[in-house]
Structure 1
């Protein structure tokens, strides 16, 4: 039997649409706080709220978006989200106060939360079952590339051409995200359902069970616990680099991070599919911990960038692995809800982490924080084992025991 095809037109389009959604997110993540202070006369609190309000609205909308994927359909939900996202991207030219920008960020976050949830549900349908780990790894790599290109592009455009150019490029990315998303076709086999099932779904009441995918909760909690530490990289690594006199090297941190991802992704995804998640996850946690340790003790550009490589290999492998496990825990009709569950809990970890890490870093210094956080990450082996791995193994043993008992009785 031949190898199932991964790189289809639909898979490429969903990856491109996701890339342009995330590049807009990271692009504005860097530029809007500076714009708030320098152009709108806002303070640091208002600048920080530009990120918080956006993520908060995304977190709140995701469980509902996961439900809509099952009721009104994945493609319709995705296109609606891209329309909201595109319109929001076009409106940044008009607000003249920090409060009006915050209102726009609230609206923009709704589109982002819906789009990322729908994209995760759709791509799970497009990737062949035999290549789930590999496919999710490549798909999530579009996020990682956006994380590198977005901030670099934002600072370059803002410094050379001003904020009007920043907003123009943001609008263009929003439009491209919609265009590439529009041409995605979900295979008929994945969207056709019996009429009785459709009627049953449409009658579903709004409940925690319908908004969250219970089998995906355990691995989502693990992802959220690691997301707490990842937020310190996302939000404060450039601040830390400035503190220790490595500001020039900081611009290459995420470049090295992404380069390692590009090199390792073809192998880690395939190993996930061939040997199971544990072969990938346990070593990745150790690499992530070593990277954080090096980051905390670094005094040179070489160690700083080596830390970036290890964090990229460790965390960059863990995130798609966790999300793949969450999706595989759900039935095909609930993959969208599983994606929403995972991303909501993960973003909650990142959101809480950004606030807490800022306070801790201000008190003990980011060098000490990164050093001690390496032990937290290493302790994550226990998080993963007791919250997910041990329970899965016990469940498999029970299933095998029942099957064995049934065979004996026959």
Structure 2
């Protein structure tokens, strides 16, 4: 490697972070308004909203293993840029969906392209980060998600509330399209090193999915369920519980918590404390969900305080575990399984997110969302117990990566 390539913040890494920020900004700008869009435009009920939103996640989940095989077998950059271009185009297509059936088809296509794109970005960034900085590099890379998560929902809600009813959604989808096109431009500036053709083993399951990552994948699935409910339904939950502040503050506070914790968690992972980081982070997130479940029982001022505090705490919890889990999956696979490892990491998350989004839609139809946060607290506790009792030992046994492993 050259001196430039040995630096963490080399040119390729910076363009990876920039394209990832723009990709996720365009994604998050529509997240808080999609449920409202479906209800206002197609008069959808809660169950229908949950189904339509979950189609995106299911499509992303289905495409990830195949994307992993492609990105481990063929040149990575063309696949990444092409998928990102399709992802951008679908935003503009939303404006022409005259029926909910057309919207579902576009949503599925969007999920497919998003699944392929995120496999590409998360694999390429591993290629351009020096191995000695991998945990820290993935942590900072994740900050681009967090800044997008902080700005995107606020921008989406602000546009929704300030624009005339007849133009608000056209404008939001058009802005998302423009941002994702900029992501394509940034991605095209990334230069990946040449990978000479190598003899590939016969196609098998582990070319699509990292078998050794299944225990960790189950943990991550459990942790993602309630997180997805929060991200997609917190706007409705805030209305349901009559919080005295705008829901956009929740996303901002959560992003602050994630950004703050990522700075430290990545370095701790690089020092070998991966297992400890995951257990602590998941425990913190569990407490946040418990706080959200208490909102219906508080007065107005208490609700506002707990609402903001739970966002910060949840952000700290998930900001701690995101880079740790990413590093864990990569360390369980060989270099030629980076795509498979990334796919397993993201697919596990998406399965849980899909369950959460679908169930969240049903819950908004038949019961209060606070009920789900009680369930979510128990799911997270189960994930913590399973990781401490089994998954951490499994990782210590099968870790073939670059990193030390301490208790």
The equivalent of 1:390 in structure 2 is 393
Query: Is 1:278 the equivalent of 2:281?
Result: no
1:184 aligned onto 2:178: no
Pair 1:134-2:131 in alignment = no
Structure 1: any 5+ residue segments left out of the alignment? 397-410
1:145-224 aligned at under 5 Å gives the runs: 145-161=147-163, 162-186=168-192, 188=193, 191-193=194-196, 195=197, 197=198, 200-201=199-200, 204-205=202-203, 207-224=204-221
TM-score by length of 1: 0.86
Larger Rg: 1
Tell me which of 75, 86, 93 is aligned to 1:84: 86
Aligned-partner Cα distance in 1 for 2:88–2:248: 29
Is the 2:223–2:282 Cα contact (8 Å) retained in structure 1? no
What is the total number of aligned residue pairs between the two structures? 386
Give the Cα separation in 1 of the matches to 2:363 and 2:98: 34
Deviation at 1:236, TM superposition (A): 2.8
Which residue of the partner structure matches residue 348 of structure 2? 345
Q: Which residue of 2 aligns with 1:373?
A: 376
Aligned match for 2:258, one of 257, 261, 280: 261
1:285-296 map, 5 Å: 285-296=282-293
Q: Distance in 2 between matches of 1:89 and 1:148?
A: 20
- Write out per-residue CA displacement over residues 111-141 of structure 1, whole angstroms, 9 at most, x where no aligned residue: 1110001111111111221221111111122
Which residue pairs with 1:71 in the alignment?
A: 73
Does 1:332 pair with 2:335? yes
Q: Deviations over 1:354-406 (max 9, x none)?
A: 2234545766633344245334323322221244212234558xxxxxxxxxx
Q: Residues 239, 76 of structure 1: CA spacing in aligned structure 2 closer, same or farther, 3 A cutoff?
A: same
Question: Which residue of structure 1 lines up, in the alignment, with residue 233 of structure 2?
Answer: 236
Partner Cα separation in structure 1 for residue 248 and residue 35 of structure 2: 18
Partner of 1:308: 311
Q: Separation in 2 of the partners of 1:249 and 1:148? A: 14
1: distance between equivalents of 2:142 and 2:354? 20
The root-mean-square deviation of aligned C-alpha atoms, in Å, is 2.4
SS in 1 for 2:29: helix
Q: Distance in 2 between matches of 1:149 and 1:49?
A: 26
Provide the residue aligned with 1:58 in structure 2.
Answer: 60
Gaps of 5+ in 2: 400-407
Relative to structure 1, the CA distance from residue 258 to residue 395 in structure 2 (aligned partners, 3 Å threshold; closer, same or farther) is closer
Whose relative contact order is higher, 1 or 2, with alpha carbons under 8 Å and at least 6 apart?
A: 2
Distance in 2 separating the partners of 1:393 and 1:104: 43
* Distance across 2 between alignment mates of 1:385 and 1:184: 39
The 1:111–1:378 alpha-carbon spacing in structure 2 relative to 1, beyond 3 Å, is same
